[in-house]
Amino acid sequence: QKEVEQDPGPLSVPEGAIVSLNCTYSNSAFQYFMWYRQYSRKGPELLMYTYSSGNKEDGRFTAQVDKSSKYISLFIRDSQPSDSATYLCAMKGESGGGADGLTFGKGTHLIIQP
Partner 1 sequence: DAGVTQSPTHLIKTRGQQVTLRCSPKSGHDTVSWYQQALGQGPQFIFQYYEEEERQRGNFPDRFSGHQFPNYSSELNVNALLLGDSALYLCASSLVPGQGYGYTFGSGTRLTVV
111: contact with partner 1 by CB under 8 A? no
For partner 1, give the closer residue by CB, 35 or 76.
35
3 or 15: CB nearest partner 1? 3
Q: Which of 29, 35, 7, 9 has the alpha carbon at shortest distance from 112? A: 9
Q: How far is the CB of 13 from partner 1 (least distance, A)?
A: 21
Burial class (CB in 10 A: 0-12, 13-18, 19+), 59: exposed
Q: Which of 12, 16 has the CB closer to partner 1?
A: 12
Selected binder of partner 1 within 63, 84, 107, 110 (CB under 8 A): 107
Nearer to partner 1, 16 or 51 (CB): 51
Torsion angle in degrees (nearest 10) through CA of 35, 49, 76, 109: 0
Measure the CA dihedral 59/51/73/44, to 10°.
70
User: Do residues 4 and 108 lie in contact, with contact meaning Cβ atoms separated by under 8 Å?
Assistant: no
Judged by CB under 8 A, the chain residues 25 through 64 that form the site for partner 1 are 31-32, 34, 36, 41-46, 49, 51
Residues making contact with partner 1 (CB under 8 A): 4, 6, 8, 31-32, 34, 36, 41-46, 49, 51, 88, 90, 92, 94-96, 98-107
